[in-house]
Structure 1
């Protein structure tokens, strides 16, 4: 299967392996929430680790732009899959750690932003290229990671934020060599997994309740603008250009 779950030593590992770039279509996004919820509810699991397969070119390329180019009417399915995935991560009963390498794009930002902790390889970078893809969304979760003006600069330019910069700004717990990412992530999760499951469940609920704003509600607000953007002719032009050339359209 392209996305698998294994459980060992009280850690559930959810691994993405959807070539070529872990960019998920609407059906795949809709399948992920149940995987996360089931893993976190398992009484034998104290921590969930989300990562990409070792041979993957990057952590997550976001959504399948080719699907949206060919089937723009599926935007509501995609929106729902994204929303439910990120919500499932944030509301998971136990802590969720994302271990990322290379590109963390679009929906990958949502996964990381909804997570409790991020471990990054030294080649990782974070990006929201939505402004160049005819879409919106992702700032709500990036705002859990980075300061307001950094989020806006990244969103308006579609630029990349290297792992070291994300670490400097407090978004990333640790930056490690690419070859050591899996081992370092498992070691970090093992510390969490050694705790009382009951204590972890209570702590997760308490920490979520302490947040100054509702990130899920904020993301739903954003998705209304995503739908508005998808209905504009510039949105289709942006997707056509990306699929044809891999570059942003000119306006």
Structure 2
């Protein structure tokens, strides 16, 4: 699938999603809605197991909201479509791994898009910021998520000042998993995606649902939901062929063959 704003490519069980909107890969409402449709289709396609989100070119991953579109009348609280801004950060039931391959500048809503992924790989020249404070607005999704991803005081400094920070600092605070030379970024992202795609999809789904739903729960409350059969993905896993296959493969000392059912 290809459009003027977003390119997608299926590579086996992996979906690559590339923002391709010169000059900076900024997201307007049309692009956000398109991304929402893409990630919804990814969520609902049983043949797809992992997604990679990246940007075209070497300078920009995504600077967030398209200020030129805003200047032409698009409202900051417009309808961004399924999944909210960028199609990913509010998409319900997305229980598959998503990798962000940050190939350049990721600021504002672009950084919010990246931290909506499960794993972040960054090119060594990538840079980050939440500059909304300087234009008198709030980075709402980042204000909710960032203090839960990195130390609270660091997150608040970044939100309060809007200052830029590089990939090395992002890695130091645990915001990105790995830093890679730019020429190796997509190779590494694809290798990781292939590794995950070969794994047990029902287990990944259970991990992602538990982690997401338990984020604001007390430990025992979350455990009670697991043992009380209140997580759909966990119950599906425990009733699945894959759960039996895992046990058989262990007993037979062979690699399991996961079917996702």
Q: Secondary structure of 1:59's partner?
A: strand
Q: Structure 1: any 5+ residue segments left out of the alignment?
A: 214-251
Q: 2:196 aligns to what?
A: 192
**How many angstroms apart in 2 are the aligned matches of 1:179 and 1:45?**
26
Q: 1:201 aligns to what?
A: 205
**How many angstroms apart in 1 are the aligned matches of 2:76 and 2:28?**
10
**How many angstroms apart in 1 are the aligned matches of 2:161 and 2:93?**
31
Shift of 1:170: 1.2
Alignment match of 1:128 (pick from 118, 130, 134): 130
Q: Secondary structure of 2:34's partner?
A: helix
Shift of 1:93: 2.3
Q: 2:243 aligns to what?
A: none
Q: 1:15 aligns to what?
A: 18
Any idea what the Cα deviations from partners look like across 1:56-103, whole Å, max 9, x if unmatched? Answer: 52100101112222316x222166642853112x74120111000221
Q: 2:187 aligns to what?
A: 183
Report how many aligned residue pairs link the two structures.
210
Pick 1 or 2: higher relative contact order, CA cutoff 8 A, min separation 6. 1
**How many angstroms apart in 1 are the aligned matches of 2:135 and 2:68?**
11
Q: 2:89 aligns to what?
A: 86
Q: 1:77 aligns to what?
A: 78
Q: Structure 2: any 5+ residue segments left out of the alignment?
A: 218-261
Q: 1:224 aligns to what?
A: none
**How many angstroms apart in 1 are the aligned matches of 2:125 and 2:79?**
28
Q: 1:78 to 1:143 in 2, by over 3 A?
A: farther
**How many angstroms apart in 2 are the aligned matches of 1:165 and 1:43?**
37
Q: 2:248 aligns to what?
A: none
Shift of 1:210: 2.2
CA-atom RMSD in angstroms: 1.9
Instruction: Give the helix-richer structure, 1 or 2.
Output: 1
